[in-house]
Structure 1
Amino acid sequence: MRLARLLPLMMSVALAVPVIAHAADQYVPLQQRMSPEEFKAAGLDKLSPDELKNLDGWLSGHAKVTTKMVDQAGKPVFYPSSEKAGPIQAHVQGSFTGFSGHGEFTLDNGQVWKQADTARISCLTSNNPKVTIRRSLMGNWMMAVDGCNDTTSVVRTK
């Protein structure tokens, strides 16, 4: 199915739309925002007129992004300079049995993280297991604990 193969491309376009669209209140169709060369290079020339219309319709409703932090020049800041953006590796203090949907985890580096989702994930009980916390593509933090086959979204509380 041609449209299914273009899904990653469409998602890339959807994420790029806010940058391209400057702050316009009205949606501008892709063909008007892209040069013919860019349009063809993105493979959008292979879409039927109806498929292109549907893509434009979807993008018009999903193209707005609110940036909460900007630098002095007004450009978006995705990682505050005071917060480490790379992976964090430490050990959970004490016994770990899994994610309860509301757990709070104190690490041996002094940080405290709280589960941000309500996922209940059972894991083998372990004492002071190694933990890796890293940013996902969407910007939230994901916690992985050695001996547990799943990850969960977390927020730092301390």
Structure 2
Amino acid sequence: MLQLSRTSALALFLTAALFQVPAMAAQPYVAIEKRLSPEQLHAAGLDTLSSEQLATLNRLLSDEQAAHTRDQAQDGVGLREKRVEAEPVSATAKGDARGWSKGDVVELDNGQRWRVVEGELYLGKATGSRKVTIAPGAFGAWYMQVDGKTPRLKVQRVQ
């Protein structure tokens, strides 16, 4: 049978625990000693941790879960399949576009991509990347505004 050192067992356990964070993201954090049986704690070597070490482990796992929840919420902004709190997105549009019209896809520096579904905007000469704000509107619509200029373009998140 494979023998693991205490350090290897702990590393393996923490890795497995962190990969399970997405499934737990919607739930409040539950302390590791409440999730595992005494046998599981012993097998992972966690029963030998001091109370300070156990508290640190729980804090790290809780912080990781909270960070993942925030990342998941931001990642879902604008997608129809993922209903999240509607928060405006501020980013920089990549490229040297002189403007956008219906059908154009705007790629942002945060990795998001948005397609113009209504409206047209001509910016004049290309000046490189532009600051944009994409804000929610009524009935699930999203609107992109470039450098505070008008008109706003109605956009839809592209996966």
Provide TM-score, normalisation by structure 1.
0.44
Please, what TM-score do these two structures have when normalized by structure 2? 0.44
Per residue, is there more helix in 1 or in 2?
A: 2
Rg larger for: 2
